[in-house]
Amino acid sequence: MTTLSKLTISLAAVLLMAGCTGGVSPSKSGASETVSEESLGLRKTNLYTEDTTTGDKTSYGKEYAGSGYKIKRAFQDAPPMIPHDIEGMLPITIKDNQCISCHMPEVAASMGATPVPVSHFTNFRADTAIAKNGKITKSGIEIENTSTDKMAHVSIIKKDQLVGARFNCTQCHAPQSTGKLAVENTFEAQYQQIDGAEKSSWNGKEFMKGLDTEHGK
């Protein structure tokens, strides 16, 4: 056996023994001997009881529709939060939606409300079915794969009413609230548009830029 091989084996044995015995003690290396569970996460209280984890009360706005203040959007094109009381407006169903009485584009300006964007009146979901021959069809066109280069799985068809995927406003829009955060929020939004904190870019034809499908534009 060569000298180099002997040295390699000896070094490996030393490292193995150091690992088994714990190596250098925490006290000698300057590291803390123990790490508390509380210090590992955002929650700085006892992990085994809820007695000390009661958060500050969150207060939702009670202003009537049209009178509430609007906070900035969290990021570009983020769903705006609801600045007014929604008591009595829930649940929202496809046949009973009080939100659209003020937020439909044709009346929003006169009501001082944010208009529903054109994206909510656009169907991006092609009608899918199985033909008698077992082939998948999208909007009546047979396709070999549900995802194609021409995006046959995508439909861009404008409608005069909210599309089915958009009728439930509160699945994306949440009521504004005030309260003390347990952890400080240092996030700062960067908007692509000058008015991005107040307005969405998903209007006009801009939101369809770059989309080329077989089922409408």
Q: How far apart are the C-alpha atoms of 152 and 143, rounded to whole Å?
A: 7
Residue with tokens 């209280």: 45
Domain 59-120+158-217 -> CATH class = mainly alpha
Comparing 6 with 131, the larger pLDDT belongs to: 131
pLDDT tens-place string over residues 103-128:
999 999 999 898 898 889 888 887 78
pLDDT at 22 over 50: no
**Structure confidence by residue, pLDDT tens digits, 183-192:** 778 888 889 8
Domain ranges of the chain: 59-120+158-217
Residue ranges of the alpha helices (H) in 92-170?
Answer: 100-103, 105-111
The CA distance from 130 to 2, in Å, is 72
